[in-house]
Structure 1
């Protein structure tokens, strides 16, 4: 690639970033629709392999997913509203215990002054905020219907997501083929190889890790429900969402569940039962869910996920959050390619073969050390 074409690519990238920045308000439905198309393409491909047309396969996938989402919302929203109300009623007692028992114990044992803690104001603030979240759907609708323009925009975005997703999913293979035809002929093999690695990384995370998160949330919810915990659904969903980072969901969920069990039951049996629920969940994740849904594919590192989401949100808001993981996958693959290129270059020292794998080198070095 000549220097002139490199300048063209740099200018195109700069123009793309500028468009993303200025078009943030309207990009979210298109990005969500693109995500739906990306996630649904393997399912539609399987239906095509069974003899269905592309359009009919897309209709079947959309109908099934829509039915599942509607059923889940109809079941979960009332339950979540009830559990948030329960949490709101328990918050004052939790803060009082923390103020009257836990903090004096810390002060007596460690000599730390806790008189500066303004827990009364914290209790009032939490109670007010939790009270507002009790009617999440009503709050969203109220905000969206304050003006006619806001209502029209909100409705249009909501309708555009499935429409954009449907058409992108129907023409996904055609779009991919057309994009491949536009690649420079000399660089096409390398670009296709890198994009394949990006798809593997991103697919391993989105299709695999998100399914693991959902399954863990359901497992924790049902387990805590069997224990008898009033906040089982709320804690299970929180632990499932936090499982986007390995072990974070386990830590957050078990801490929240133990605190809730102490205030609801106050005995050792239920605390042991909570620990057993999360221990079983971790065993199922390690032995069944991760090998089955993610496999041995290399996903995104947890630190890279956290940094990408925070950086994307800081730079481009909600649109940046949607773009964070795809961009992180591309950057990760490019860094791997640059690392392999460096290891195979004379700048590293002894040149390696062009496609020589670093893991093979490490294995040979370990074998020599053992000898």
Structure 2
């Protein structure tokens, strides 16, 4: 009989996973279930629900360190640090709007399992770069700890990096320790209007190579967010510094036109829209997340426009392309071929129905040596293959 098991602590998780390993019973690992349709449909009859593992174990604002249970809603974590004048600098995106579920329902464990990072990744790094330590239960039913609770900790293997982005297929995280950072005093957005994709990305790349310390760089073609195209650059910090760096961008990018400026409140709304892929929210068309070299983005999109009708916009200075297939077809072969043609990268199918996600590789196929390494890692952490089987690769 199908069962949902809701542990209260790490010991409960250990018991459930040990039972599942002994009985060869695959488990689907969820928090609040907000990202359940990310990846392939999981091939499991039983659900391990971590939403009961909530709460802050310790928070030391002066030390910039937070330890929290994996099932804690990310919205609660962000409010806690915000109330203390701090932030999660990797700016985790909320997949709720895109996947058609209630916004702000994700957990900190789910964020790390998917290694979710927002526009600030170009400056602050990915989610995995902010994990100091982790307690988890392997697919063998064994509790292990890695890392610690200080920023300068180099003990043992950096296992959290392996677990971040593994979508719960290697181990079940129960507690995580994160590095937090002071929240900037203010923010503003430098906006250039009316640029085509090529000029927009050129402007972004010039800005990223300057001393302006940009913390967000995106290009929204005409129609993506209403009206004409917008090439936007976010500046954060002390108000005098933001003003100075805005003038630096004015001098650097003057040939692209006269910029406009969004102040803090408008800046926050705009970058949340970009982060959470809100231009494609509420729809059912397939959505791809394409990662390529920043300068290759416009060429990639232009080649795909010749094959099918699409809408796309660019984040991470052009290196991250969010693409919606407007005709409802996946166009998997064309999309991955186009990624290879511009020098390689990754094409991940983010939104599609269950049958579509079952019939194509959702994640970009790995080269044979890397795939073999991934299999060996899976065999070491989860030899029975009971954790989220099939979530990332069919049959694994």
**Which of the pair is proportionally richer in strand?**
2
Larger Rg: 1
